[in-house]
Amino acid sequence: MDTVRHKWVWVLGSLLILVWTAFPVLWIVMLSFKQPGEVGNNPGFFPKKWTWENYETVFKTDLFTSALINSIGISLIATLVGVTFATLVAYAIARLEFPGKRLILSFALAIAMFPVVSLVGPLFDLWRNIGLYDTWLGLIIPYISFALPLAIWTLSAFFREIPWEMEQAAQVDGATSWQAFRKVIVPLAAPGVFTAAILTFFFCWNDFVFGISLTSTSDARPVPAALAFFTGESFFEQPTTAICAAAVVVTVPVVIIVLLFQRRIVAGLTSGAVKG
């Protein structure tokens, strides 16, 4: 009896958490299908008349389309470069013995915990002086800097789990150290590499602070920052429904990635934590 009661408590608790977390997302989706004049006049959850007008407005707005291209390009480049560097650093930390190895890991963790807001001011001045302000590179560099520590921690735990004998066996068969790393170690650590890439991409895709502070035009402004300047189809109507439609469009890729690769993400996080 206690077991059944305990089970139902967990089920009800899980449902409450699911409703609590999913309701804001569903509310934004419903708002995105409402007509602009319906906000404030229709307090109901569902639209009176469903419309795709807001999504058409979003994709007709140069501010959003250029920001979407910026977010995709910047996030992919930062993820590729960050994971590549993190893989090399994590391998060195896991396999090699050298002075200051623990200090490097501690320093990486300190960077990950450092408040982003405290760096915006100095970066703003520095980027303006050296010409990186309002450029893709001006966002890619800080994205990589903050995404690297988490990727290094995740990947170093994976590399520690891979038996050293497998790399030695590849070298005995004639492979160089680089070939053994590229053809043996990296494929075995693929779940960790994939997890690090997903986490890095999410960090870059969702960033608002750097995007709003280090850009001033649509040349490099990402989507989260561009939404703050979104006005809808005209300046004389409430942009709430259009902003919600834009938010849904931005959220869809993240949801698709999580649904498609949730097993790899969970496996990567749990496996990497076994000996971390």
Reading the chain (276 residues) residue by residue, the pLDDT tens digits are 567 777 788 888 888 888 888 888 888 888 888 877 777 666 777 788 888 888 888 888 788 889 999 999 999 999 999 999 988 888 888 877 777 777 777 777 777 777 888 888 889 999 999 999 999 999 999 999 888 888 888 788 778 877 777 777 877 777 777 888 888 888 888 878 888 888 889 889 988 999 999 998 888 999 989 888 876 555 556 678 888 888 888 888 888 877 777 776 666 555 544 444
pLDDT of residue 37: 72
pLDDT of residue 231: 66
pLDDT of residue 171: 78
Number of domains in the chain: 1
From 96, 89, 122, 94, select the one nearest 213 (Cα to Cα).
122
pLDDT of residue 267: 61
- Establish if 125 belongs to a structural domain: yes
- Establish if 259 belongs to a structural domain: no
- Establish if 26 belongs to a structural domain: no
- Establish if 38 belongs to a structural domain: no
CATH of the domain at 195: 1.10.3720.10
pLDDT of residue 24: 84
Range of the domain at 116: 62-229
pLDDT of residue 274: 45
pLDDT of residue 77: 94
- Establish if 53 belongs to a structural domain: no
- Establish if 76 belongs to a structural domain: yes
- Establish if 132 belongs to a structural domain: yes
- Establish if 107 belongs to a structural domain: yes
